[in-house]
Structure 1
Amino acid sequence: MSDLHDILDKHVGGDGRAPGAVGLVARGDRVEVRAVGVTDGEDSAPMARDSIFRIASLTKPIVAAAVMTLVDDGRIALDSPVREWLPELASPGVVRTPESPVDDVVPAARPITVADLLTFRAGYGFPGDFSLPAVAPLFTELLQGPPQPQAVAAPDAWMAALARIPLLYQPGQAWLYNACSDIQGVLIARVSGRPLPEFLAERIFGPLGMTDTAFAVPAADLGRFTGYYRAGAPGSAGLELVDAPDGQWSTPPAFPSGAGGLVSTVDDLYAFARMLLAGGTLDGHRVLSPDSVRQMTTDHLTPAQRAASTLFLEGQGWGFGGAVDVEAIEPWNVPGRFGWVGGTGTAAHIVPSTGAVTILLTQLELAGPSPLPSAMHDFWRYAANA
């Protein structure tokens, strides 16, 4: 019978596969962790449990949790209009139809709220059709897409650019991917009066002991940092290096991306997962209220919104910062399972009903939002039967 090492090893090394991977499967007190392959090419160090990865969109649930700390503090409410802190979004225009040019707009029917940002229904983001006119500026003006931290403008300039882009849908109307998490990061900084990295360190990372999670890797830890790759040109068996350990994450960025900018380790992410499973508390440290955890891990979409978002969600719902399984599409899709995947080849989920945690960290960029790679499917299938 295969163990976790065998499952990971099958997808590592040569022929366009990731150089290495770390996986964790936990249920209650039983925790299985395996590291296979190498950190950065053939001649680098062996992969280890404390190797550091770019976690991409696994940043999203962490930033959503930070928003909820402000809700718990009474600084903001889910129904609060964000215009008080984000005046750039006080009077957004909305394209008349999703297919309309960017200058054919109507006023927003109501203000954008904190809940709209958390549920990805503010009107900004990626639909299933990337060719729509109002989608293009997200790439050209905001550099939404694969993380490139040193290329993005500072938050105030980024928000000024966002204000020039119309909403694709009216607030609350449709689920759209990605951009709302970056806006959440700016919201946190402005409400708290502190840079996002400082706020996360104080309210999330410090209490949970997430010592290796940040927007950049200190020089002393670069030896544990993994390379980041994508598959080579069609027909090529090799990999293309996207970012080396001493590359874009070796210095703090001007724009700390709430959508995909963090680095982390399997144990740091496990600490965050255990906090959610325990209702917001870990080792005596209260990070979130139980109600905030419940809000995060509950599906907030209508059936029509789920049906329109199959490129990213594949039939799932959406909580705050992560997907929520609403039906058993595959053996691993346990109703209530909460979590997400990252475009750098990462995935992390919890199953509140069973106390299960699954975390997979690789270095190989996803080819697109769907279908997900066989390595993730094999890992989840193993975890479902472990």
Structure 2
Amino acid sequence: MTTDLRAFLDPYVERGAVPGAVALVARGDRVDVAASGSTDTGGTTPMARDTLFRIASLTKPVTAAATMVLVDEGRLTPGQPVGTWLPELASPKVVRTPDGPVEDVVPARRPITVFDLLTFRAGYGFPSDFALPAVAPLFSELHQGPPQPQAVAEPDTWMRTLSHIPLLRQPGEAWLYNTCSDILGVLIARVSGRSLPEFLAERVFEPLGMKDTGFAVPAADLGRFTGYYRAHPDGGFDLVDAADGQWSTLPAFPSGAGGLVSTADDWLAFARMLLAGGLTGDGRRLLSAGAVRQMLTDHLTPAQRKASGLFTEGQGWGFGGSVDVETRDPWNVRGRYGWVGGTGTAGHLVPSTGLITLLLTQVELGGPKPPDPMRDFWTYAAGAGAAEE
């Protein structure tokens, strides 16, 4: 099937949709990987299976899993108010109405909990309407949005800034995108007494053999790292970040929402762990089976799913990723879990069939909706998976 996968990828590169891409379709022991194009627009370095990508929001499932490591150990409980560890959020204020001014606030009706952060229902984050007044400070003061790791303040300063920004909605009331994963990253560090990069390296990446995943690319590996591009309206691509740019040194704020760099095989190892109910490839237990079930279960109400449609298109939300709740397209298999990254990445797994799909590119998405090449890949992968049965 690898030949077919390469034949699927090549036309997108040839017509200039992306400078290059790596795609992976796996089930059981069978793994098909294809690389096409180049890591940069100059065509100097061919894409390869071990090419390094900024995976952006594919970081979110990893951060959720790391949180569940602490839950399994009893160091956190889902219903625990986060103010124990994040005193900046111990007494949050909420804008009186979502479209009201940021100065018109009321006290939160209850504390923010760990579960609220895991399900993106803490009250912080992006709604469908980015123009709401309480959303603006997330961009201007916290640098939420497209990842720019060297522009963000260190965690304690970031949390102090966050504490002065009101919640958009009451805790538990609505699904809001992105910010909760960054808060979880700070929570993990404070509970564990380790920085987020250290904790992830020791408790997630090393057990899974994810040797190429982290918040920065070592100098010796920069030759395997892609450029990061934005499609130009008149055709071609504008460089957003070079291989030796913002990810060449550790950031002050390691973003649990979108800061990681990884490879196809590393993310495959993570996805296989989830399919195996928390077991690593060599049989060690990283997460309890119950923790994995919680990650892969939709926790939203029908009304919350409907309101989050700009991002999830009616899908539900587990911990760190979307969960398909209905079959609408060839790829929308009930229970499919995963997410997309704004730097042009997408990773999903289907517990009922064992299918894993991963598409890695270096071109920024134009908005929350997955672009046609991703949808085409999901259709291809769904058909390829069915053909193996």
Task: Please confirm whether the aligned pair reaches a TM-score higher than 0.5, indicating the same fold.
Answer: yes
Moved over 3 A (4+): none
Tell me the residue number matched to 1:142.
Answer: 142
- Conserved in 1, the CA contact under 8 Å of 2:22 and 2:360? yes
Decide which of 271, 274, 277 is 1:276's aligned counterpart: 274
1:42 Cα deviation from its structure 2 partner: 2.5
Tell me the residue number matched to 1:365.
Answer: 364
Look up the equivalent residue of 1:152 and give its one-letter code.
V
Per-residue CA distance 1:344-378 (angstroms, 9 max, x = gap): 000000000000000000001000002x2111011
Distance 2:187 2:328 in 1: 35
- Conserved in 1, the CA contact under 8 Å of 2:52 and 2:226? yes
Look up the equivalent residue of 1:98 and give its one-letter code.
P
Per-residue CA distance 1:316-363 (angstroms, 9 max, x = gap): 000000000000121100000000000000000000000000000000
What are the equivalent positions in structure 2 for 1:153-232 lying under 5 Å apart?
Answer: 153-232=153-232
- Conserved in 1, the CA contact under 8 Å of 2:37 and 2:43? no
Look up the equivalent residue of 1:248 and give its one-letter code.
Q
1:14 Cα deviation from its structure 2 partner: 5.3
Distance 1:53 1:31 in 2: 19
Per-residue CA distance 1:135-176 (angstroms, 9 max, x = gap): 000000000000000000000000000000000000000000
1:307 Cα deviation from its structure 2 partner: 0.5
- Conserved in 1, the CA contact under 8 Å of 2:279 and 2:285? yes
Tell me the residue number matched to 2:314.
Answer: 315
Distance 2:73 2:11 in 1: 46
Per-residue CA distance 1:194-235 (angstroms, 9 max, x = gap): 100000001100000000000000000000001110111x3x
Tell me the residue number matched to 2:247.
Answer: 249
1:31 Cα deviation from its structure 2 partner: 1.3
Look up the equivalent residue of 1:3 and give its one-letter code.
D
Look up the equivalent residue of 1:12 and give its one-letter code.
V
Look up the equivalent residue of 1:287 and give its one-letter code.
L
Is 1:77 aligned to 2:77, yes or no? yes
Tell me the residue number matched to 1:327.
Answer: 326
Farther-moved stretch of structure 1 (121-130 vs 280-289): 280-289
Distance 1:160 1:12 in 2: 44
Farther-moved stretch of structure 1 (289-298 vs 27-36): 27-36
Decide which of 370, 380, 383 is 2:381's aligned counterpart: 383
What are the equivalent positions in structure 2 for 1:7-46 lying under 5 Å apart?
Answer: 7-13=8-14, 15=16, 17-46=17-46
Distance 1:173 1:59 in 2: 24
Tell me the residue number matched to 2:387.
Answer: none
1:13 Cα deviation from its structure 2 partner: 4.4
Decide which of 237, 246, 269 is 1:239's aligned counterpart: 237
Per-residue CA distance 1:287-321 (angstroms, 9 max, x = gap): 10000000000000000000001000101000000
Look up the equivalent residue of 2:263 and give its one-letter code.
T
- Conserved in 2, the CA contact under 8 Å of 1:7 and 1:378? no
Distance 1:179 1:37 in 2: 34
List alignment gaps of at least 5 residues for structure 2: 385-389
- Conserved in 2, the CA contact under 8 Å of 1:120 and 1:175? yes
Paired residue total: 382
RMSD of the alignment, in Å? Answer: 1.0
Distance 2:217 2:284 in 1: 25
Distance 1:11 1:155 in 2: 39
- Conserved in 2, the CA contact under 8 Å of 1:126 and 1:177? yes
- Conserved in 2, the CA contact under 8 Å of 1:337 and 1:349? yes
SS for the counterpart of 1:10 is helix
Tell me the residue number matched to 2:265.
Answer: 267
> TM-score, normalization: structure 2?
0.97
Tell me the residue number matched to 2:298.
Answer: 299
Tell me the residue number matched to 1:123.
Answer: 123
Distance 2:7 2:97 in 1: 50
Distance 1:66 1:351 in 2: 21
Per-residue CA distance 1:15-66 (angstroms, 9 max, x = gap): 4x21110000011222110011011122321100000000000000000000
SS for the counterpart of 2:359 is strand
- Conserved in 1, the CA contact under 8 Å of 2:39 and 2:225? yes
Look up the equivalent residue of 1:260 and give its one-letter code.
G
Look up the equivalent residue of 2:311 and give its one-letter code.
F
Distance 2:174 2:10 in 1: 40
Tell me the residue number matched to 1:338.
Answer: 337
